[in-house]
Structure 1
């Protein structure tokens, strides 16, 4: 189980890295084709994972929720609330929000 978890962690880290790299390449490509004086495109990238949950018992609870297409309403509500909490704590997301003001 430990080796499976380690492999999955590496895969997720690589996947996030590839996604971020892809968005950065897209940003650079768009900006390279812009005419002088046109505003630049910027990409803000935030990755949110259960591992960022500070409270160990709360983190364990969410990690135990099965990956499925159907969840009880209570778990859907809890996951929805968690996403808001995590965005509030994400420096990358908060930087993006500040840039909109």
Structure 2
């Protein structure tokens, strides 16, 4: 499930960012890696496949990633209620 992979990756990234740590997010269907490097209150976002670089507020990025994970969890568990008991799916949201 690509949604689960993305949500788990973003959840780990959010935890790192909110702790002031760098993070990396990869994709199972691509060799591209997105680097998230903390620099004070900002996070620099870069790609292994592209030359662009953007900076965003770390707290906001962490919050948005966390919201995405909560929404993905809610959608998945409402469509397939049995997933709520799955330990991998439960890692998508803070306990």
TM norm structure 1: 0.31
Task: Return the structure number with greater strand share.
Answer: 2
